[in-house]
Amino acid sequence: MLLARMAEAVYWAGRYLERAECTARFVQVHTDAHVDMPVGEDVGWEPLLAIVGVDTEFAERHPSPTEAGGPGTASKLGGADGAGTARGAGGATKLGAAEEDVVEFILHSKDNPSSILAAIAVARENLRTARPVVPREAWEACNNLWLACSDHLDEADSREGRVQWLRRVIAGCQWINGILLGTMSRDHAMSFLSIGQNLERADLTTRVLDVRSESLHPSGGDDPYEVVHWMAVLRSLAAYQPFRRAMPARLQGGSTLRFLLQDDRFPRAVSACLAETRSHLKGLARAEAALDACTNASMVVASAAVPRLTLGGLTEFLDEVQAALADVHDRIDETYFRPTFVGWQPDSVAS
């Protein structure tokens, strides 16, 4: 027996843990890549804000007097100006957001309800609610992660300390995952946790591709920094080594996109996340609508002519994938978390 409320709690715990881990990796890889690029060639720190989806919130808190665009500019960084100015985004570094501000905002700012620290706190609260259905050690590991991260906030604000702090986040999330894999029964609670993780993973992969490729795809093949950028994309999804082993071909936009969207074996590729989601849904009762939505999302991803997308239409395509993913969430939400059985009184359920 699994209460609807518990299913929802573990689902969100799964999503937020995944979000914390992935975001930590984005920041880590972005910091590394940033250091690699010659001054004036880097893309600044705004893309991070766009990937995490907090560019507007950040702009509200850190108004940039020299930037006329105001809120929302960051997400359109470079791309809108066409090929010639793709790297013109480098100019935005001088005008754009300061590294410290962006990193602080994404890591732990109190102004950012989607910060890494906030994601860990939400995961922790959900695991606390769901304590009866998750292994005790998993809750303890999450509690420890939250304590360790809150205790070392001062570390997070320097480049050297930041590496340690982010590593702690990634290791902590992996620790929890390891406990779940090694000690949790493959029951319904585990299914909802995994579904949450996989949907979040798929969503974040599409966001990375969306933001990164906007500033990259127009440049064609002779860009000396293109490879560095795509390597960063892969690394930020922990996909560089798996990609190299799976696709020894020249690293470029088309093959990277295909790998991250359509590979069936790499656990952060969108189609692999959807396959995993489907296998968990199959074990649940009344999953028809959610399974349909999941199959639809898989079809959207599988049927894409990926190499052609690098020439145009990628953003629209990724929007379509994100909408399909959101649909899977909605079906799960209405079927399992807010069901309408006999005797169910939705108005008596306090949110």
Partner 1 sequence: MATVQTHQGRITGGVEAAHDRLAPVDGREPTAAAWPSYDPGPFYDELVGPTGKPREASEALWRHFSDLGPEGLAERQEAADREMRAVGVTFTVYEGTAGVDRPWPFDIIPRVVPSNEWATIESGLVQRLNALNLFIDDVYHDQRSVKSGIVPTELVAGSPNFRRECMGVDPPGGIWAHICGSDLIRDADGTVYVLEDNLRVPSGVSYLLENRMVAKHVFPEMFRHFSIEPVDPYVGRLANLLASVSPSTGDPTIVVLTPGIYNAAYFEHAFLAQQLGVELVEGSDLVVLDDDCVYARTIEGLQQVDVIYRRIDDLYLDPEVFLPDSMLGVPGLIRAWQSGRVAVVNAPGAGIADDKKVYSYVPDIIRFFLDEEPILATVPTLRCSDEDSRHYVLGNLERLVVKPANESGGYGVLVGPSATPDQLAHAAKQIESQPTKWVAQPVIPLSTAPTLCDGEVGPRHVDLRPFTLLGPEGAYVTRGGLTRVARQAGCLVVNSSQGGGSKDTWVVNLDRRGPEGDASPRARGAPTLSEEDPDDDPR
User: Applying CB under 8 A, which residues contact partner 1?
Assistant: 1-7, 125, 128-129, 131-133, 136, 139-140, 143-144, 147, 188, 192, 284-286, 336, 339, 341-345, 348-350
Q: Which is nearer to partner 1, 5 or 167 (CB)?
A: 5
Q: How far is the CB of 18 from partner 1 (least distance, A)?
A: 21
Q: Find tokens 């585990």 and name the residue.
A: 190
End-to-end CA distance of the chain: 22
Q: How far is the CB of 285 from partner 1 (least distance, A)?
A: 5
Q: How far is the CB of 328 from partner 1 (least distance, A)?
A: 16
Which CB atom, from 56 or from 143, has the smaller least distance to partner 1? 143
The DSSP annotation for 57-124 comes to HHHHHS--TT-TT-TTGGGGTTGGG-GGGTGGGHHHHHHS--HHHHHHHHHT-TT-TTSHHHHHHHHH
Provide the token pair at 22. 């992935």
| Closest CB to partner 1 among residues 39, 350 | 350
Rounded to whole angstroms, the maximal C-alpha distance in the chain is 65
Residues sharing a CB contact under 8 Å with residue 280, sequence separation 6 or more, in sequence order: 191, 192, 194, 195, 198
Closest to partner 1 by CB, 27 vs 134, is 134
Q: In whole angstroms, how close is the CB of 278 to partner 1 at the nearest point? A: 17
Distance, CA of 241 to CA of 345 (rounded, Å):
51
Taking the complex as a whole, the smallest distance from the CB of residue 349 to partner 1 amounts, in Å, to 5
Nearer to partner 1, 174 or 340 (CB): 340
